[in-house]
Amino acid sequence: MPGTVFDKSYDVAVIGAGHAGVEAGLASARMGLKTLVLCMDLDSVALMACNPSLGGTSKGHLVCEVDALGGEMGLAGDDCFIQMRMLNTGKGPAVQSLRAQIDKRRYHERMKRALENEALLDLMQDECAEILTENGSVCGVRTALGACYGARAAVVCSGVYLNSRVHTGEFHRDRGPSGLASATLLSSSLKELGFELRRFKTGTPPRVSRSSLDLDRMAIQPGDVPPPNFSFMNGDISRSQEPCYLTYTNARTHAVIRENINRSPMFSGAIHATGTRYCPSIEDKIIRFADKDRHQLFIEPEGLSTDEMYVQGLSTSLPRDVQDAMLRTIEGLEHCRVMRYGYAIEYDCIDPMELDPALQSRRVRGLFFAGQINGTSGYEEAAAQGVYAGINAALYVKGEEPLVIGRGEAYLGVLCDDLTLKGTNEPYRMMTCRAEYRMMLRQDNADLRLTEKARRTGLISPERYDRLMRKKESISLAKQALEGWAPPSEALNALLREKGSTQVRTGVRLESLLKRSGIGYTDLMALFDLPAIGADAIREVEAEALYGGYIRRQEAELAKLHAMEAAPIPKDVDFMAIGNLRTEARQKLSAIRPRDLGAASRISGVSPADIAVLTVYLKARTEENK
């Protein structure tokens, strides 16, 4: 803003210090840029306001991708977990995901310390009131306390705080999660910059006192021994783990909810915001799944220094007395004492189709957005966007090309591609079914997919890169050895009988043996001269042997996508003037301005016929310009 006197100037300003803001701030500072991180309350840095956990189905993939890009979430998760479990172990590696129960207080302290220890980063408690611009570009931020800070780029990571309103039954108050203050000033600034704001909703269950529970009446859920880990930088971790517990709602629980459903702000009309489809409240579950006679509830510890237990699966905004009544119908919770009641929270967010593939605003140069402000839900989705937006804000300031990760390269790529090309009309949650190339995008190979790609950012340490190179070399050596042949022998057939597999009478390739169910690389190592490699390399070799056909098929599909993405769309194309395009396609293409045919093909409302028309138009235009 012309004439503004800045109290201090930075390269990048990050607004918010939740899971997106922490990663954005650390990425920017570690890339050598002076970075300001503004936070409404320093006691809420990386706050786990809802579930005290990281990972889970598809979300574990995102945590590993954040780690592979040089982010902090995986390392912090490994430092602060109190239980680790690999989910979906009975299924293939594409859908297996790591989930950690986290000590939420330790996690907050661990992340706050990471910010405080970063030399080029200033962490400050204040509310951002205004994004300052000059000639269509970010030039700084103004705070509620009246300070002005210069910045060449800004990353908005405001989470669920923008004009947030909390609901518990008939109680309604303008405040943020966990009783914190809401951010009431920035929404007006975003509107003045031309952004249309929407209202989304999320919620959280009650927390109950551990000492008031009858845990012996619930099914115990232990962690894996030895515990796996998120970060590719960590080896084996030895630590005692805390169990979780499984119980269920029942007919009496459902009756209490139905009798009081009119008192829920979701059904009384007090809430007008759009809620998440894939993490519904217990009220939603009872109405939408009326045929179900029970629903799973996981009772999870919130940390080692607290008595609070999280009732996962019971998100609710019912009144206090109804929450008490329904909880006491559940086995093991009959005498429970509620320490915090559940609530729903609605908040402002933007339409992510306002953003380009690097999460930069199409309206204001140097303005990036990450996390729930983009209409997503979940800590992992937020962190992934945060490290990505932080990297690209830093690259923007440096005058370098953005780091663009495609949907064939990472779950992060799927997430950002969906948001910026398709948008979302409800809080977006990452799921494995959203990834067309999920056989290639496994949790265990995130480092192979992303670390080398991110090396130019400076976030990849020499130690991390050396680890990657050693892993690649191990995989290569193992694959070469597996091309060898094994003669029939009693020892081999004994192994095959033990595994319930057909015995061999002639020579067989070692790789084909590895494709058989139940036979692993270590089994073959005991019989044949195979190189000793690490567990992470073994997982990759086994996955490629078992699912090589599927992987090659997806690679062929991805090659077609890359061919389309290699057909750029010039920035000056007037889509409205292309006569054979349908009206909806013209409008969508003009609004989003995709970079290439591949991106254009994924826009909702643009049909294959429209892509054919656009392809012909671009070829004709190229011929004319020769």
Same domain assignment for residues 380 and 289: no
- Given a cut of 90, is residue 506 above it in pLDDT? yes
pLDDT at 374 > cutoff 70:
yes
Is residue 539 within 8 Å of 232, Cβ to Cβ? no
How much is the pLDDT for 501?
93
Structural domain of 613: 567-624
Note whether 385 and 523 are same-domain residues: no
What are the pLDDT digits (tens) for 141-192?
Answer: 999 999 999 999 999 999 999 999 999 999 999 999 999 999 999 999 999 9
Same domain, 388 and 335: no
Same domain, 39 and 130: yes
Lowest mean pLDDT among 403-412, 472-481, 617-626: 617-626
Q: Looking at the structure, do residues 212 and 294 belong to the same domain, yes or no?
A: yes
The partner residues of 408 in beta bridges, in order of sequence, read: none
- Count the alpha carbons within 13 Å of 261 in the hemisphere toward its beta carbon: 15
The answer to whether residue 317 is domain-embedded is yes
How high is the pLDDT of residue 623?
Answer: 80
Task: Please tell me whether residues 296 and 341 are part of one structural domain.
Answer: yes
Domain identity same for 29 and 142: yes
Segment 245-258 shows an average pLDDT of 97
**Same domain for 363 and 337:** no
- pLDDT on residue 83: 98
Domain assignment present for residue 560? The answer is no
Residue 279 has pLDDT above 80, yes or no: no
* Two structure tokens written together for 167: 């609901």
Mean pLDDT of 595-608: 88
The residue-averaged pLDDT of 28-34 equals 98
Q: What is the CATH number of the domain that holds 502?
A: 1.10.10.1800
Q: Which position has the token pair 């349908």?
A: 582
- Does residue 174 lie in a domain region? no
Inter-residue contact 394 to 33 (CB < 8 Å)? yes
Closest of 529, 548, 535 to residue 481, by C-alpha: 529
Confidence of residue 267 (pLDDT cuts 50, 70, 90): confident
In a domain, 180, yes or no: no
Query: Is residue 131 pLDDT above 80, yes or no?
Result: yes
In-domain check, residue 195: no
What was the pLDDT predicted at 276? 75
Please report whether residue 111 resides in a domain.
yes
342 shares a domain with 261: yes
Q: What pLDDT sits at residue 125? A: 98
Average pLDDT over the chain, rounded to whole?
A: 94
Q: Dihedral, CA atoms, 382, 385, 387, 391, nearest 10 degrees?
A: -160
- Percent of the chain exceeding pLDDT 90 equals 81
Residue 562, both tokens: 């890359």
pLDDT digits (tens, 9 = 90+) for 423-457: 999 999 999 989 989 999 999 999 999 999 999 99
Return the CATH number at 98.
3.50.50.60
Q: Return the biggest CA–CA distance within the chain.
A: 86
CA distance 366 to 138: 5
Q: What is the pLDDT of residue 2?
A: 64
Give the mean pLDDT of 369-390.
Answer: 98
Backbone phi, psi, residue 143, to 5°: -105, 165
Q: Render pLDDT for 85-107 as a digit per residue (tens, 0 to 9).
A: 999 988 888 889 999 999 999 99
DSSP characters for 273-316? Answer: SBPPSSS--HHHHHHHTTT-S--EEEEEE--TT--EEEEET---
Shared domain check, 228 and 215: yes
* Phi, psi for residue 551 in degrees, rounded to 5: -65, -45
Structurally, the chain folds into a number of domains equal to 4
**Token pair 């650390």 in the structure block, residue:** 26
Residues 204-237 pLDDT 10s: 999 999 999 999 999 999 999 999 999 999 988 8
**What is the structure's pLDDT at 403?**
97
Mean pLDDT, residues 46-53: 96
What CATH number does residue 246 fall under? Answer: 2.40.30.260
How much helix, strand and coil, in percent to the nearest 5, is found in the chain?
40, 20, 40
The last residue of a domain, from among 425, 457, 489: 457
Q: Are residues 410 and 452 in the same domain?
A: yes
pLDDT in tens, 511-528: 999 999 899 999 999 999
510 shares a domain with 445: no
The pTM for the full model equals 0.94
Place of tokens 């209490």: 256
524-537 in b/e form (b: 16+ CB < 10 A) is: bbeebebeebeebb
Q: Which residue has the higher pLDDT, 554 or 10?
A: 10
Mean per-residue pLDDT for 275-290?
86
Distance CA 465, CA 8 (A): 36
**Could you tell me if residue 176 is inside a domain?**
no
pLDDT at position 1, please?
62
Q: CA-CA distance, 170 to 318, in Å (whole number)? A: 8
Residue 309 resides in a domain? yes
Of 417, 442, 457, the position where a domain reaches its end is 457
Using pLDDT thresholds of 50, 70 and 90, give the confidence band for residue 507.
Answer: very high
- Structure tokens, 594: 């995709």
Q: Which CATH number goes with the domain that contains 577? A: 1.10.150.570
- Choose one of 429, 457, 485: the last residue of a domain: 457
pLDDT band at 619, cuts 50/70/90? confident
Cα 167–chain centre separation: 26
Residue 127 has pLDDT above 90, yes or no: yes
End-to-end Cα separation, the chain, in angstroms: 43
